[in-house]
Amino acid sequence: MQGPCEPATLAGTLDDLAGRGFTEHFVLRNGRLRGLDTGKNFAADQVVISEHYRFEGVSDPDDMAILYAIETRSGIRGTLTDAFGVYSDPMIAVFIEDVQDSHRFARSGTLKEQ
């Protein structure tokens, strides 16, 4: 267990999320989120980002990462990890933006133009 002044680690946060049911491991394939354990694919409008965490390397800036806790409409919960900064995957950034856009439009009641 971490003390109150200790920074969270990626591994520790993954363990915490797994303990709360975020057990699926997601990757991005062909613009869709794929669950490695279930083999199921999800479009951006089929998922919600429940939480996200940013980690900065203490001694090495190359150790920066961002962790997304994701829940699908069908109830599958898991995580997606990406590098943060210059090593980030631009396709993950596009997918995350699409997730956010799909929920903005859903809340406003307007349809997104195709």
SS3 content of the chain, % helix, strand, coil (to 5): 30, 30, 40
Q: Which residues pair with 77 in a beta bridge?
A: 71
Q: What is the pTM of this model?
A: 0.82
What does the pLDDT read at residue 102? 82
Question: Is pLDDT above 70 for 66?
Answer: yes
- Radius of gyration in angstroms for the set of CA atoms belonging to the chain, rounded to a whole number: 15
Quick check: is 5 in a domain? no
Q: Which domain holds residue 25?
A: 10-108
The answer to whether the beta carbons of residues 44 and 95 sit under 8 Å apart is: yes
Quick check: is 2 in a domain? no
Quick check: is 3 in a domain? no
Quick check: is 113 in a domain? no
- Average pLDDT for the chain: 85
Q: Which residues pair with 70 in a beta bridge?
A: 49, 78
The answer to whether the beta carbons of residues 53 and 13 sit under 8 Å apart is: yes
Quick check: is 4 in a domain? no
What does the pLDDT read at residue 76? 97
Structural domains of the chain, count: 1
What CA–CA distance (Å, rounded) separates 11 from 13?
A: 5
Quick check: is 114 in a domain? no
